[in-house]
Amino acid sequence: MSDSHNFENTLYSKNKGVALLTLNNPERMNSLGGDMVEGCLAALDDAENDPDIGALVVTGAGDRAFCAGAQPGNFVARNDAGQPGAWQGTERFRYGIHKLNRQVEQFSKPYIAAVNGVAAGPGMDLASMCDIRFCSDQARFRMAYVRMGLVPGDGGAYYLPRIVGVAKALDLIWTGKIIDAQEALRIGYVSDVVPHADLLPHALGYAEQLAQGPKVAIKFAKRLVYNGLTMTLDQSLEAAAAAFSSVQQTEDHKEGPRAFLEKREPQFKGY
């Protein structure tokens, strides 16, 4: 991929150092299916390996949904046909949506969700994979698995407590309640709520600001934060010292202090 790709259920474009991934099945509220996972994987791979890209934004097509998750009719059809054995079901996850979870974990650049409507079940998990979430004032969130007699299968039990805490995550998972944009902001699930028409410009503007920043330092900082969640203090300090020493060697570090002393905005090169 260079500037776009041809997956049916995702759109991908790049502009001003920012990649934009759009979940593109608006007739079905951007529900997971078809080649959507493959399109997301391809977008992440392209954005990771393009040195000009400093951030990736993901959103949904249309005005109704970010991603409404899975279609209940698919569960009915599968149940009527006879469920696969436990091993086959595990393999379906491992070689399906879980490939996306693992690739997102390795994505070194800022990954930002612009949640433009309903995010339910796997759709909420897709938003939870992101580093930061902005949402429209029309957004609604629901960990809908319990309504289907299921557990979060796409990483929700991993991501959600790390974002909102264990008790709130369990509450959302156990009850399957719907929360609106303001409640999502109150509990810290999203970082900002903006008028619906302003959502994508807001998210892209934020991403462009990051893309114009010191890319190496931003990537190191992201890895320090995530690795620090499973490190001891001493391990985290050692990692920080090594990262600090590395970024000191960049041209952007030379530019930052110089621009500060000259009382001007720094002009970072990204290396």
Q: String of b and e for 208-239 (b: at least 16 CB within 10 Å)?
A: bebbbbbbbbbbbebebeeeeeeeeeeebeeb
Ranking 85-89, 155-159, 217-221 by mean pLDDT, the lowest is: 85-89
Split into its structural domains, the chain has a count of: 2
Nearest to 123 by CA among 100, 94, 91: 100
pLDDT in tens, 10-45: 999 999 999 999 999 999 999 988 899 999 999 999
Q: Are residues 255 and 123 in the same domain?
A: no
Q: Would you say 14 and 53 are in contact if contact means Cβ atoms under 8 Å apart?
A: yes
Q: What pLDDT does residue 97 have?
A: 86
Q: Are residues 187 and 229 in the same domain?
A: no
pLDDT at 89 over 80: no
Q: What pLDDT does residue 93 have?
A: 75
pLDDT at 103 over 90: yes
Q: Which residues pair with 141 in a beta bridge?
A: 119, 179
Q: Are residues 155 and 82 in the same domain?
A: yes
Please give the residue range of the domain that contains residue 197: 10-211
Q: What pLDDT does residue 255 have?
A: 93
Q: Are residues 165 and 246 in the same domain?
A: no
Q: What whole-number percentage of the chain has pLDDT above 70?
A: 90
Q: Are residues 219 and 154 in the same domain?
A: no
Q: Is residue 267 part of a domain?
A: no
Q: Are residues 117 and 244 in the same domain?
A: no
Task: Give the CATH number of the domain where residue 223 resides.
Answer: 1.10.12
Q: 4 falls in which pLDDT band (50, 70, 90)?
A: low
pLDDT in tens, 190-245: 999 999 999 999 999 999 999 999 999 999 999 999 999 999 999 999 999 999 99
Q: Are residues 28 and 150 in the same domain?
A: yes
Q: What pLDDT does residue 75 have?
A: 47
- Helix 166-175 to helix 156-164 angle (10° resolution) is 130
**Cα–Cα distance for residue pair 24/62, rounded to 1 Å:** 8
Q: Is residue 159 part of a domain?
A: yes
SS3 assignment, position 118? strand
Q: What is the CA radius of gyration of the chain?
A: 20
pLDDT in tens, 162-186: 999 999 999 999 999 999 999 999 9
Q: Tell which of 194, 211, 228 closes a domain.
A: 211
pLDDT at 98 over 60: yes
Q: Are residues 110 and 148 in the same domain?
A: yes
Q: Is residue 1 part of a domain?
A: no
Query: Which residue intervals of the chain are DSSP H helices?
Result: 36-49, 72-81, 86-94, 97-106, 122-128, 156-164, 166-175, 181-186, 199-211, 215-228, 233-247, 251-261
Average pLDDT over residues 124-135: 97
SS3 assignment, position 9? coil
